[in-house]
Chain A
Amino acid sequence: MKTIKLIISLVLLILLGSCQKFSNLNPNVPGQNSVIPPSMLLNRVENEMFLGPGQVDGSALQPGTVSEEPFSMTIQHNEQYFVSNDPYYGGSNSYGWSNTAQTYNMIKNVIQMENAAALITKSRTNAYAVMGKFYRAYCLIWLSERVGDIPMIGICQGVSNLTPAYSTQHDVYKACLALLDTANMMLNNQSALNLSLLPFTGDIFGFTGASGLTHWQKVINAYKLRVLISLSKKIGTTYDAGDLNITARLDSLINGTNYPLLGGESDNLIFTYNSAYNPYLANPGSTMGKYNNRQPMSTTLMNLLTVNMDPRTFIFSTPAKFQIDSLKKSVGDFTAYQGASIDSTYGALYNHSAIGGWGQYSYPNYARYYTSSATGPTTGDEAKGSILIGYPEQCFNIAEAINQLWVNGSASTWYMKGINASLSYFGVTQGGTMQVYDEGGLNYIVSGTKLTTAQSTITLNVDTFLTLVALSANQATAYSQILNQKYIAFWQNSGWTAFNNWRRTSTLNSSPKVSAGGYPSTFTSTDPLNILDAQGKIPRRWQYPLSEAQNNTANWQAACSAQFGGADDLFQDVWINLPGSATPK
């Protein structure tokens, strides 16, 4: 009896302990059927827009990701604002990239966002649908601009379509321009956007509610202007009127009324830093903050600045130590500001750098870009935020369109607006004074004596600069002036736009080793190899994402064949950068 009792109680114990039932689903995260506020998905997409695709997850998951943040190394070297004198700490000057990152997982979240918003508003007309159209276009163009033809139809369907076909770059741009047009039209009729059912929130750029959407409308149109300008080679060809309608669209943007553009600096799409969660990259609180002396300014930029006595010289950079200490120049002397040539060897760059004890180069302005007070951002981009789509670029884009006679207007007016907007963004005013410090953010020491505050103070002369850069009457010269000023205005902002502009116009070629087309004239074994890839050239495009080559092979191969004669060639141009007559393949 005792035995049976024992057995029964033990069996009961076992059964009791086994009653719990568990699900195969993770209880810690929202599952696929969860109701996700669309604002949370917008938040994610916008973060990726700022950081660069794939950056949020870390580059390990997505080969080819490159941070698009201002002051991120690759982008600054490849756009030739900085030159690294030390590849370990300062990054590589090489254009040694191959496969690109991709934006389809951003689009996937855009689709989830659209669906979530449709669930709430029971309609496809809502604020998030507008943002969805913009971001679909943004993501597709971001990728197509890098690689050429891309999958556009049947994308982001998971297992339902594991091998989406490729659309030509022409078709991608055509569809995206239509998306941008639609977004603008929807924003012209905000009352239909069901904002009472689903207010517009979650925007990391601080645009919320109806006014935020109005703001976005200007940004979207400014972005469309950037896209249209990037199609400049197709203007006047069979792909313009009646097809992509580039000229007509430019005209409606610049001279029309239905497409409001950015009205001024306050309309910029700005990423604002905050010290607790999104610290400024070059903040001294981060390890990055100590490295400005590993990154001399490049001659590409410095020559453009100093030749015109551009006061932004003092904003961006510091005078070279050698020029001040040994040649006894004043800190306001433009000739004391010297860039480093990106085609030098690291050894030579290092020798001539301050860290090498010599100091023949200018460095990014430590006092402005690498310091902050304990209470928060006070200066520079840290306080003002970084431009993603900005008014200065818009002005220069309009000036370029007018200069090239695509639309009517005064190129000079927009050119000057652009320059002034840029000066204003960087805080430059006529007669304004500022302190010039050394690369460590301290007063210069000349012959063992610190310069006094008075000796370190300079007065900004905007007027002289404006006279020197006044737009030439010669169309070609003016064109070059517009592009150069646009390039300067892209200092530490707008991601890869400066590089994309160079690909389109090929004017960014200060390096004597690089010919007008961006190709070095010769390759010899003594060529310094730290600026180019192993083949001695600056690539003209990125290769397709590895996963496309590997898992969508037939379509990828067909796209490579149609565009580049078979290879996924880094050194051939994508269709938009080919001469106007080239047929989309």
Chain B
Amino acid sequence: MKKEMEKSKKIKLAISRYVFVTLFQLFVVSGIFAQEAAIKGKIVSKDGSAVTGATIIVKGTTRGVVTDLDGNFTITASPTDTLTVNYVGYASQVIPVGGQTMISFTLSEEVKNINEVVVTAFGIAKDTRSIGYSTQKVEGTELTQDRDANAINSLVGKVSGLSVGASSEFFGNPQVVLRGNTDILYVVDGVPINSDTWNISADDIETYTVLKGANAGALYGSRGINGAIVITTKKGAGVKGTSTIEFNTSDMIDPRSFLAVPVRQNEYGIGSNYSYAYGNDPFNKTGGFVRQPVWGPRMEGQGVAQYNSPLGANGIRTQTPFNVLGANNFYNFMEGGYHTTNNLSITASGEKYDLRISMSDVYQKGIDPNTELNSSNGNIYAGYNFTKKLRIEGNLNYNYQYSPNVPDAIYGPQSYTYMIQEYGSANFDVRSFKNYWQAPGTPGIQQAWVEYGRANNPYFMANQWLRSHTKADIYGYGKLDYAITPELHISFRAQASGYSMMRTEILPTSAITYSLSSGGIQEGTVNGASTGEYREDRRMLYDNNNDVMLSYNKNVTPDFFVSALVGGNVRTFTYNSSWTSTNNIVVPGVYNFTNTLNPLVSYNFNSGMNVLSAYYSVDASYKKYVSANTTGRLDNSSVFYPGQQNYFYPSVSLSSVVTDYVKIPVVSFLKIRGSYANVKGGLTTPTAGPSFDLLGQPTPLGYGSSYYSSYDGPSYTNQNAYSINHLYNNTPSANYANTMANPTLKPFTVSSMEFGGDIKLLNNRIGLGATYYTTTNGPTIFPQQVAASTGYYSQNVNGITTTKNGWELDLAVTPFKNPNGFSWELTANWSTFVEKLKSIYEADQSVLLNGHYYQVGDRLDAIYGYKFYRDLQGQVINAAGSPLVRTTGANYEQKLGYANPDYVWGITNKFSYKDLSVSFQFDGRVGGVIFDEIYADMLQSGNATDLVNGAMGAARLAEWNEVKANNYVAPSNLQGQYVAPGVEITSGTPIFDSHGNITNMNTLQFSPNETKVRLQTGYISNINGVFQEPYMVSKTYFMMRDLKITYNLPKKFLARTAFKRASVSLVGRNLLYITALKRKDVDLDQYPVGFDVSRIGQTKNQTDQSNGYGTENLNLITSASMQTPIVRQFGFNINVAF
């Protein structure tokens, strides 16, 4: 049944791709499109003199020419094209070709160096000259060639202050971090949408504008508190009466060229204490070697009772040679993947209408076997002018995501990396287990594998343990604009955004999980194996924004220009979800809710909210000296208690282009700007997990991770409510709130002050933008800990205020510029910030966050844990051969480092010569630390390569040789051979203070540690889980993100075809990954965020699938866990328009 469903799905996809191709051919064959022709022209200045050296470029292409000494040029363009004229000292100006073959153009005298337009709040386009805060624009075309399956992932490294940690998991949400905060608002054509970032199709995007921080987002209200990514989609604009068809295809292969993957040793095999023996029963249920790590015998061909050793006549397992058979098990198990993205768009416009229809399809075959990702996108835009005064326009985007199998990469026996690399032994070849039902398994009932406690047969998992993802996502708007007078417009807009999704999990009979839960679902057969389960997670979201806006633009006096708008917005949000699971299925292989032994486990969650808003924005400018803007917004939000539901927040900004009124040598442009903004919000949560999580219930699963979808709805965290759990034998119990609700709780506040400037030198060849900002986050809404004796854990207060100070620099240099020859453009960005605790609550001086008491003035991204005791020379103090242990508790931890990077950077170089261009990007982060859980786990498991190299490797070998000499039996007095680095106390008794520190270090005497201990049990075991220090790694990394080689087919050639333009690119992504540490077991790129103040007070009970973050540290990311390895990608892109 399941198979058939998949099959039909595949057929459907095949059909949709076939349709694409057919459409494509159809349009190629038809010759109804306008032809390009050579156009001659002359550029003159206002006084009539010829302009030499001006560049003429066909807009939207890289084709261009330069005017000669007489100001003449010749260029190939179609009648629908627009030419852009650029000349130093003049504003860029445009000439619509409109069928002319001879053009004479007079450059307007106005000396405007930049009149780049950016889209700000509500889709209002503004000249960057008049903007008093920091924004940055990325052209959509930059991101459609070397594509990632996710459009937002491509923004990485391109914008200062913006970090994107692309998830390597299917439909994993990237961590998009703006000035240290996650939870960024996505706005499409002026209206906020609910986005998982996968519902945005790169081909439909004209520009991405990053509004950094509260200053730019103020007008969007609470949702824009951390800034926004504002997307302008491609419209049907163009010359009336024409149409264009554009086809873009990117095809990339993802070979097994891993950038970051845990690497294991291949010397020692499964077992403990250099010993191993598989039990005498088929499934090794018993005996001393159940669920073993990889501390077993060295694989030297000696006899060991293994999973496939035959039983002797006495019923006792014989011994067979113990050899390295699967050194490359991981590589051999994984598969090469590929992904292909195809887009076809049709743009047309007429006298009264303009329209665009676009269809995209993403297909990815994953590197994990039996995985695929599909995402199809349809986008329609249409505008119609009823009269000159009345225009209606609308846009609809439909996105359908489907994957039959989304692997779970996090720690545990559902992860391939865990099973093969972290806890896998090399004494077998994984490929011999492709038939996972082979003996001693039973088809449909019991898998066969090398052991039955820790891991599953990966082929069994790939084909039987399936987690599907299906999501239909829609957003769109309709807008009516009426020009009451030329200056005064009124517009109405209705917008909706929503999704319907379902995720299922089929847990097959005999699968092993680390389910340790009690009171929920408990598996109950052999060795912790599942009886089989079926689970469904369904979620529906509807988010509706309606607004009315009155706008006015007028030159009040010749010197004084005013643009103002006033509007109202109604946001209506509803959400409904359910999560249901069988509780031990009865008939294996039947995945239906009726097939359950115990009553179903089911949760549901509904929510809704209203936000009524009124807002205004006034822009005013006086002569060429100064531009000012002020906005204000009043919200009425249903999530707060009555009486606290109304809140107002303002913003103001100023800017001035100094070079407009002061001539400065060398400086061609200088702008200074400053702004202040205040935004309020709260009691909503950006993402939603399964229903049980939203209800505050513990996970009924106890293994694996959950999917968190975009939400932006009520969190209901300020409630005195009971939670109902079924704790004992499925009987109901109630627990009264642990956090006291606060009826006077006010919205949290973010205030941001920003100053900056943009300077251009040497005729704009060098441009530098700099921004300094101070953001005061808070008081936030914070569950402040209260004394236990109050009966509660915490009370909601408006507390915790942090101050963040940061710098952002953007550099654009054009060392060479010649549209007909060689050009080199270099852009770079750099950003940094530090966030400190400014105040807590009332007179409090310290606060418990993430298991540590932080003091006012502390950096909140400091990570605390346990460090070794060290003597005055910094040597580790050992006792009995391993590091001296510390007392545990919040008062006993030490600072391990800071989670936030010191700075983030990105550099892009673009070289072009005539029709050929080469560009590549490097980006990275410097500083910050994270706990490398993979390394800790691999030291524990015995698989870390450090355990076969250096001092540890030598000790391990010496210990093994002793075992070997004792006839392969570990003697009871087996000598440890490892001498831990550091010293031991030779005289004196340490005295400890209340933080566990030694106070009498001066009176203690040390000598180098000489005590030999067993490597596994005398050293590794004694530090693992006891200390964090040895596993902390620097988050510094450097990535060669992409390489693009593009060839634009010459006009001459294209003139003979139906094509208006065509380009071919060779692309590579993720080509080089360098970290401060040689051991590249984790893609640090995926952990861009350290401390995130906006996450304070938010809890998740489940691990987030997309980024593997643990359950406790939502506001501070301290630990890096397993991922699906990232791979180098290579491919090509073809873009044609006709």
Contact = CB atoms under 8 A, between A and B. Distances in A.
Interface of A: 2-3, 6-7, 10-11, 13-14, 17-18, 20-32, 34, 36-37, 40-41, 43-44, 46-47, 56-58, 60-64, 85-88, 94, 96-99, 102, 104-105, 107-109, 111-112, 150-151, 155-159, 161-164, 202, 204, 274-279, 281, 283-290, 293, 322, 345-347, 349-352, 354-358, 360, 366, 374, 439-442, 445, 448-450, 523-530, 533-535, 543, 545-548, 550-552, 567-568
Nearest to A160: B790
A440 B725 contact: no
9 nearest A-B residue pairs (beta carbon): A156-B791, A525-B985, A108-B791, A347-B1018, A98-B889, A552-B787, A440-B286, A151-B789, A26-B716
A28 B608 CA distance: 11
A355 B986 CA distance: 33
B482 interface: yes
Given A286-B516, A450-B315, A534-B885, A345 B880 contact: yes
Please indicate which of the listed interface residues A25, A288, A439 has the most CB atoms of chain B within 10 Å of its own CB.
Answer: A25
B608 A31 contact: no
Contacts of B992: 534-535
Nearest to A102: B788
B722 A34 contact: yes
Given A32-B720, A277-B519, A355 B273 contact: yes
Interface string B570-592: 10101000000001100000000
12 contacts: A22-B610, A47-B727, A88-B1024, A109-B735, A112-B734, A285-B525, A355-B288, A357-B970, A442-B287, A525-B880, A526-B1011, A548-B789
B793 A61 contact: yes
Contact of A44 (B482, B725, B884, B1021): B725
B52 interface: no
Contact of B879 (A43, A62, A278, A525): A525
B137 interface: no
A102 B785 CA distance: 14
A550 B273 contact: no
Contacts, number: 407
Contacts of A159: 740, 790, 795
B999 interface: no
B562 interface: no
Contacts of B720: 31-32
Interface stretch (B188-196, B845-853, B1049-1057): B845-853
Given A283-B524, A345-B1018, A356-B275, 13 more contacts: A3-B390, A28-B695, A34-B722, A86-B1017, A109-B736, A157-B791, A159-B790, A162-B786, A162-B795, A356-B970, A441-B286, A525-B985, A535-B887
Interface in B954-983: 969-974, 976
A62 B791 CA distance: 12
B546 interface: yes
Given A14-B494, A155-B789, A527 B879 contact: yes
A317 B869 CA distance: 39
Nearest to A106: B791
A10 B494 contact: yes
Given A29-B719, A534-B887, A104 B480 contact: no
B983 to A, nearest CB: 10
A534 B995 CA distance: 12
B314 interface: yes
B786 A356 contact: no
Given A21-B638, A32-B721, A277-B726, A94 B528 contact: no
A17 B786 contact: no
Contacts of A534: 884-887, 992, 996
Nearest to A568: B994
Given A551-B787, A552-B789, A7 B482 contact: yes
Given A102-B788, A158-B790, A287-B516, A346 B1022 contact: yes
A382 B824 CA distance: 76
Contacts of B606: 27-28
B698 interface: yes
B480 A526 contact: no
Contacts of A278: 518-519, 728-729
B741 to A, nearest CB: 8
Contact of B734 (A22, A40, A105, A156): A40
Interface string B225-247: 00000000000000000000000
User: Counting chain A CB atoms within 10 Å of each CB, which of B273, B722, B1017 scores highest?
Assistant: B1017
A157 B890 CA distance: 26
Contacts of A98: 887-889, 891-892
Nearest to B968: A357
B552 interface: no
B728 A448 contact: no
Contacts of A99: 889-890
Contact of A529 (B574, B607, B884, B1112): B884
A164 B722 contact: no
B805 interface: no
Contact of A290 (B273, B528, B1024): B528
Nearest to B694: A28
Contacts of B976: 347
A554 B78 CA distance: 83
B1070 interface: no
Nearest to B991: A535
Nearest to A16: B546
Interface residues of B, number: 150
A295 to B, nearest CB: 13
Interface of B: 272-275, 279-280, 285-291, 314-316, 386-387, 389-390, 392, 453, 478, 480, 482, 492, 494, 514-516, 518-520, 522-528, 544, 546-548, 570, 572, 574, 583-584, 597-598, 604-610, 612, 638-642, 645, 683, 694-695, 698, 714, 716, 718-738, 740-741, 785-793, 795, 846, 848, 851, 853, 878-881, 884-892, 940, 969-974, 976, 984-986, 989-990, 992, 994, 996, 1011, 1013-1014, 1016-1018, 1021-1022, 1024-1026, 1111-1112
A285 B279 CA distance: 19
B788 A277 contact: no
A151 B789 CA distance: 6
A108 B735 CA distance: 9
Nearest to B289: A355
A528 B605 CA distance: 53
Nearest to B736: A112
Contact of A277 (B478, B728, B741, B1024): B728
Nearest to A86: B1021
Contacts of B878: 525
A447 to B, nearest CB: 11
Contacts of A527: 879-880
A525 B984 contact: yes
Contact of A40 (B528, B714, B724): B724
A425 B846 CA distance: 51
B605 to A, nearest CB: 5
A202 B287 CA distance: 42
A347 B610 CA distance: 63
Contacts of B846: 550
B181 to A, nearest CB: 24
Contacts of A530: 885, 1022
Give the one of B606, B683, B735 with max A CB within 10 A: B735
B848 A546 contact: yes
Contacts of A529: 879-880, 884-885
B786 A551 contact: yes
B387 A548 contact: no
A448 B725 CA distance: 52
A14 B548 contact: yes
Given A14-B570, A20-B610, A112-B736, A439 B885 contact: no
A46 B547 CA distance: 53
Contacts of B725: 44, 56
Contacts of A204: 727-729, 731
B272 to A, nearest CB: 5
Contacts of A346: 1017-1018, 1021-1022
